[in-house]
Chains A and B, each alone.
Chain A
Amino acid sequence: MSDKEPLFSKKNLKLLSDPLDSSNPITVQVLGICSALAVTAQLKPSVVMSLSVMAVLAFANVIISLLRNTIPNRIRIIVQLVVIAALVILVDQVLKAFVYDVSKQLSVFVGLIITNCIIMGRLEAFALGNKPWPSFLDGIGNAAGYGAILVIVGFFRELFGSGTLWGFRIIPESWYIENGGFYANNGMMILPPMALITVGAIIWVQRSRNRKLIED
């Protein structure tokens, strides 16, 4: 590679934009489904979760990329885990310090970022074979692709499941049956099965837009 490649060359931009659509970690590679179902009952935890994963993934990618020539091949998984675990603990402490209520809501799922397949997958597939800067972009891009799905799912689940967005009431109280109206919250939206169906619907929409993704 020539040493004069611009920071945002076409190839590097692709690292950012591809995971948003044609190689989305959730809808195309079907990774990280577990946390996508667990934390998306409301919009705020979804956003915080996406940002946490983005921080962990981007820095883990950079660190592993810096170390890539010194990590012995046989123990690379354990090295990766140590890096991820250290970053997750950092993120967890930051969340506890600044957004304690959301940290409570996310509970164990922040810790479980360690086992998120997307992170391990990107470290193995990308960071071990690329330079720090592309690795950083790859981390940001993949986390953004993951986050985009989380936010879409969280949006629909909170809107139809609780009638609120980011904790603010969208559907007026007076519409509800209890208050003499006609509306009722969709209790199924709160349950994880509906999150899976929502992700399914997103996959459906995406594949009918992007025909290349349809396998025979």
Chain B
Amino acid sequence: MKALKNFFEKTKPYVQKGAKYHWLHSTHDAFFTLAFVQKDTSKSGTHIHDYIDLKRTMGIVVFALVPALLMGMYNIGYQHFGALGQLETAAFFDLFLFGFLKVLPVILVSYIVGLGIEFIFAQFRGHEVNEGFLVSGILIPMVMPINTPLWMIGVATAFAVVFGKEVFGGTGMNIWNPALVARAFLFFAYPAQMSGDSVWISASGIEKMADGFTGATPMAQAVLGETNLNVWDAFVGLIPGSIGETSTLAILIGAAILIITGIGNWKIMLSTVLGGLFMGILLNIFAVNAYMEMPFWEHLIIGGFAFGAVFMATDPVSGAQTDKGKWIYGFLIGVLAILIRVVNPAYPEGMMLAILLMNTFAPLIDHYIIQGNIKRRLKRVQQSA
């Protein structure tokens, strides 16, 4: 630690204004504040600072994502060896290591491309490196199918960072969740690699799948009317799906971390779940096909619903800001996600589209909540006057 600090102290003069490597100063700042808390205080105005700055906030979110990521790695191995029909002979560590080696390159590509673009933009515009990508960089791999080619991940990440974030002015200015922009881009640009039955299971070296084994996600099967879901497997996360979204259990652990530390907003999570349940019950009542008859609570444990509700919808930048707005915003995400999922067979997963749509409407919701507040208070003032 000491050596690291000394290194930053020593290199500081080189990046000060007028020095030779001044153009690298934002890079220097970025790494320094990542390792240590900034000691600078403001020279004027307010002097009270929260110790938790953006980097610490992001750190906690990444920490909360770790259980889901580890479970996802294990599940990739589980699905792979399951498809081979060798599940009995493979040891726990084999499964995990296989998944780990599969996921690691995806994470590396996402971070290298994304942070690379962030650093270039920061140097170019002469401001600090935005921390926002720390979370996006881990979210992007977690919402991708494992078989997505690495170059596609790179292209999608670049698209998400440039057109999802930088064109709006960088971290804190984006309208949509960048990780979902990356996924939506891939979903529309390369549909063959993002949906179907063959993309969810790492099939390298598999000539023929074991008997009775299918690579279809529970949602793809539900569309076909096969709704005999193994609830325990779906809850723990041993089902085909995107890398980090399968395990509801691990996501709940992440949700607990976010809520206890106060980083994630429980109102959005709860209202999203309520919205999903509401729509699920409604579909149960008017059921005309097998998918609609599927028990309403099973929607919560399949697909990306839990992951989206906990990690995507709660994004403080693209979500609603007002308290009342958060309830409306979350509830509508839940309703739309299940509606798209069940009623529109062209899009097997509605969570991504539902969140992106509500991201777009979040400022509108906030606007009307605030206008309503202003009106109410004005009335109160006029009555008392």
Chain A interface residues toward B at CB < 8 A: 177, 182, 184, 186-189, 191, 197, 200, 204
Nearest CB in chain B: distance from A202 CB, A: 13
Q: List 23 A-B contacts (CB under 8 A).
A: A177-B149, A177-B192, A177-B193, A182-B149, A182-B151, A184-B149, A184-B152, A184-B190, A184-B192, A184-B193, A186-B189, A186-B190, A187-B188, A187-B189, A188-B185, A188-B188, A188-B189, A189-B189, A191-B188, A197-B163, A200-B163, A200-B167, A204-B167
Chain A residues closer than 8 Å to B163, beta-carbon distance: 197, 200
Q: Do B190 and A187 have beta carbons less than 8 Å apart?
A: yes
Please measure, in the bound complex, the distance between the C-alpha atom of A191 and the C-alpha atom of B151, giving whole angstroms: 21
Nearest CB in chain B: distance from A140 CB, A: 33
Main secondary structure of the interface of B (DSSP, over half): helix
Nearest CB in chain A: distance from B67 CB, A: 33
Query: Which 6 A-B pairs give the minimum distances between C-beta atoms?
Result: A188-B189, A186-B189, A188-B188, A184-B190, A187-B189, A187-B191
How many B residues are at the interface, by size bracket?
Answer: 10 to 19
Nearest CB in chain A: distance from B161 CB, A: 14
Q: Work out how many contacts link A and B, with CB atoms closer than 8 A.
A: 25
Q: Considering the complex, which residues of chain B in the window 138-176 have a beta carbon less than 8 Å from any beta carbon of chain A?
A: 149, 151-152, 163, 167
- Looking across the interface, which residue of chain A has its beta carbon closest to that of B191? A187
Please measure, in the bound complex, the distance between the C-alpha atom of A187 and the C-alpha atom of B185, giving whole angstroms: 10
Main secondary structure of the interface of A (DSSP, over half): helix
Please measure, in the bound complex, the distance between the C-alpha atom of A188 and the C-alpha atom of B191, giving whole angstroms: 9
Please measure, in the bound complex, the distance between the C-alpha atom of A186 and the C-alpha atom of B192, giving whole angstroms: 11
Chain B residues closer than 8 Å to A187, beta-carbon distance: 188-191
Q: Considering the complex, which residues of chain B in the window 178-195 have a beta carbon less than 8 Å from any beta carbon of chain A?
A: 185, 188-193
- Looking across the interface, which residue of chain A has its beta carbon closest to that of B189? A188
Chain A residues closer than 8 Å to B193, beta-carbon distance: 177, 184
Please measure, in the bound complex, the distance between the C-alpha atom of A177 and the C-alpha atom of B148, giving whole angstroms: 12
Chain B residues closer than 8 Å to A184, beta-carbon distance: 149, 152, 190, 192-193
- Looking across the interface, which residue of chain A has its beta carbon closest to that of B149? A182
Q: Considering the complex, which residues of chain B in the window 189-211 have a beta carbon less than 8 Å from any beta carbon of chain A?
A: 189-193
- Looking across the interface, which residue of chain B has its beta carbon closest to that of A188? B189
Chain B residues closer than 8 Å to A200, beta-carbon distance: 163, 167
Please measure, in the bound complex, the distance between the C-alpha atom of A177 and the C-alpha atom of B152, giving whole angstroms: 12
Chain B residues closer than 8 Å to A204, beta-carbon distance: 167
Nearest CB in chain B: distance from A48 CB, A: 27
Chain A residues closer than 8 Å to B189, beta-carbon distance: 186-189
Question: Told that A177-B193, A184-B193, A187-B188 touch, could you supply 18 new A-B pairs with CB distance under 8 A?
Answer: A177-B149, A177-B192, A184-B149, A184-B152, A184-B190, A184-B192, A186-B189, A186-B190, A187-B189, A187-B190, A187-B191, A188-B185, A188-B188, A188-B189, A189-B189, A197-B163, A200-B163, A204-B167
- Looking across the interface, which residue of chain A has its beta carbon closest to that of B186? A188
Chain A residues closer than 8 Å to B192, beta-carbon distance: 177, 184
Chain A residues closer than 8 Å to B191, beta-carbon distance: 187
Please measure, in the bound complex, the distance between the C-alpha atom of A189 and the C-alpha atom of B193, giving whole angstroms: 16
Chain B residues closer than 8 Å to A177, beta-carbon distance: 149, 192-193
Could you say which of A184, A191, A197 has the most chain B C-beta atoms within 10 Å of its C-beta?
A: A184
Nearest CB in chain B: distance from A77 CB, A: 37
Nearest CB in chain A: distance from B143 CB, A: 17
- Looking across the interface, which residue of chain B has its beta carbon closest to that of A191? B188
Please measure, in the bound complex, the distance between the C-alpha atom of A216 and the C-alpha atom of B167, giving whole angstroms: 16
Chain B residues closer than 8 Å to A188, beta-carbon distance: 185, 188-189
Nearest CB in chain A: distance from B377 CB, A: 33
Q: Considering the complex, which residues of chain B in the window 215-250 have a beta carbon less than 8 Å from any beta carbon of chain A?
A: none
Please measure, in the bound complex, the distance between the C-alpha atom of A188 and the C-alpha atom of B151, giving whole angstroms: 16
Nearest CB in chain A: distance from B246 CB, A: 25
Chain B residues closer than 8 Å to A189, beta-carbon distance: 189
- Looking across the interface, which residue of chain A has its beta carbon closest to that of B188? A188
Chain A residues closer than 8 Å to B188, beta-carbon distance: 187-188, 191
Nearest CB in chain B: distance from A18 CB, A: 27
